Amino acid sequence: MLSFEALQALQLATEFQSGALAPRATGLVWHSDVMIKAPHTFSYLPLFLSPHVSRISFDLSQNIPLHVTSAEWAFNRVDCLKQLTLKQTNHVMSDYFLDSFIPILPWGSLQVLDISPVSVVSVPILITSPHLVKLSLVIVEGQPQDRFNTGRIKIPSRADSSSLEDLSVSTDKFELLETALQLLPSNVRLLSLQCSLGDETSTGDINRLFNLIQQKCNPHTLSELDLRGVNRNLADGGDPLDDDMDDYADISPLLTLSNLEALTIVLPTTRIDLTPEHAEMIPTVWSRIGTLILNTTMTDSWTLSPRIDHTHLTTILRGCPRLRVLGVRFNAIQIKDEPSSSLGRPREWEWATSTLEELWVGDSPILSPSRVAAFLRVHCPAMKKLEYSRYSDPLQGSLIWYDQRWKDVAGRLVL
């Protein structure tokens, strides 16, 4: 790392010429460790800021005023910036420091923005930018600083125009995610949507989320949907055993998204299981699906048997030829021995052409590892990975037996 004296000498020698040390650089990254260990270096940012820079990544700290002034200087002098990553180095997410930069960003050229965190006040500005193609943001509650003035914003924001294709939203509050999605322009043609929630969600929340996604996302363009949440916080006194047997989130609104190629839902505090009707519909409505994962991770909310069995699993496998990764809970208890004769062979034992490579079963009930292994060998000849929930608490009873039996299945399949 160059010393303060060396940087000062270089600045004088180059007559304060912008980008003198990197005249052809197209990218500029100022890491957080540099910001913390040698904050003085940021005052010499002009030495490295080439007029050709199209990618910038800054980790900034509100506690260092030099970061603010230097970053503002940079944003006012780049004409061809297309990609920007803007992070806050300190972990106090309530000062809304980064909101103040939004009015001076080069919105005329900016296409990719990753900013964390911002207040909910900034969301309408970011989400409706007509030039952004990819947007990643972490949203926090509250109001930004007084220095944030929406009147200074140069962004040509129009509610009826959007180039946005990839949106990623992370927040601790479901209401903030809901607000962000509601602000999506009517003509948005998202290809990918990722949502991450840092707080527990109810079944009602998730049903509202599914309906909102159906309303706001173009069913002919959205190809990737990833929804993730957190495990139940038992320290808050919630009783995971006090469940309603009919308290399932309904994925039916998502069945209208006909272009889906990848759907991953990991919401541990919400029960999401396929129904037989869903299994019958999936090959028709999601004919392009390659990855389908529905809550097959360890969670404390699974107390009821799955609503589909192995016959519904084969319906999905046969009807979705592009499927490579499948994660669904199903009842494997009824799987019987493979018939010894091909005459009158049940459809569930007919050899399949499935190209499935990964199967995630969660805590799916199972009795006979040998029969299940034979079944999977027939229906998933290309399978390379079997994932299942792993339990170690003796109080979890039958779940530990399921764990051990699925482990035995993996061993029989040499996975």
Distance CA 45, CA 133 (A): 27
pLDDT in tens, 164-174: 999 999 999 99
* 140, β-bridge pairs: 119
At residue 260, the pLDDT reads 98
Which residues fall within 8 angstroms of residue 248, CB to CB, at 6 or more apart?
A: 203, 271, 272, 273
* Average pLDDT of every residue of the chain: 82
Write down the pLDDT at residue 230: 82
The more confident residue out of 135 and 16 is 135
What is residue 211's predicted lDDT score, i.e. its pLDDT? Answer: 98
Identify the weakest region by mean pLDDT among 32-36, 95-99, 145-149, 346-350: 145-149
- Residue 255 has a pLDDT of 98
Instruction: Answer whether residue 175 shows pLDDT above 60.
Output: yes
* Secondary structure of the chain in HEC code, one letter for each residue: CCCHHHHHHHHHHCCCCCCCCCCCCCEEEECHHHHHHCHHHHHHHHHCCCCCCCEEEEEECCCCHHHHHHHHHHHCCCCCCCEEEEEECCCCCCCCHHHHHHHHCCCCCCCEEEEEEEEHHHHHHHHCCCCCCEEEEEEECCCCCCCCCHHHCCCCCCCCCCCCCEEEEEECCHHHHHHHHHCCCCCCCCCEEEEEECCCCCHHHHHHHHHHHHHHCCCCCCCEEEEECCCCCHHHCCCCCCCCCCCECCCHHHHHCCCCCEEEEECCCCECCCCHHHHHHHHHHCCCCCEEEECCCCCCCCCCCCCCEHHHHHHHHHHCCCCCEEECCCECCCCCCCCCCCCCCCHHHCCCCCCCCEEECCCCCCCCHHHHHHHHHHHCCCCCEEECCCCCCHHHCHHHHHHHHHHHHHHHCCC
- The rounded distance, in Å, linking the Cα atoms of 2 and 15 is 18
Per the structure block, which two tokens stand in for 14?
Answer: 């180059």
Q: In angstroms, rounded to a whole number, what is the distance separating the alpha carbons of residues 38 and 53?
A: 23
Whole-number Å distance between alpha carbons of 371 and 173: 45
333 versus 36: the higher-pLDDT residue is 333
pLDDT at 201 (0 to 100): 87
According to the model, what pLDDT value does residue 245 have?
Answer: 61
Q: What is the Cα–Cα distance from 125 to 136, expressed in whole angstroms?
A: 13
Query: Tens digit of pLDDT for each residue in 127-165?
Result: 888 889 999 999 988 765 544 454 444 454 554 568 999
pTM of this structure: 0.88
Picking from 59-63, 145-149, 310-314, 372-376, which range would have the lowest pLDDT averaged per residue?
145-149
Identify which of 92-96, 229-233, 243-247, 276-280 has the greatest average pLDDT: 276-280
Block residue for tokens 């839902």: 265
Using left for φ > 0, alpha for ψ between -120 and 50, and beta otherwise, residue 96 falls in left
pLDDT confidence of residue 234: 46
Please report the pLDDT score of residue 347 as a whole number: 61
CB-based contact 59:87 (threshold 8 Å)? yes
Q: Residue 235's pLDDT is what? A: 44
Is residue 21 pLDDT above 70, yes or no?
no
What local confidence, expressed as pLDDT, does residue 343 receive?
47
* 384: confidence class by pLDDT, cuts 50, 70, 90: very high
Give the CA distances from residue 193 to residues 134, 167, 173, 187, 377, in Å, rounded to whole numbers and listed in that order.
Answer: 10, 5, 17, 15, 34
Segment 272-291 shows an average pLDDT of 96
- Across 17-21, 62-66, 176-180, 400-404, which has the greatest mean pLDDT? 176-180
Check residue 121 and give its pLDDT: 86
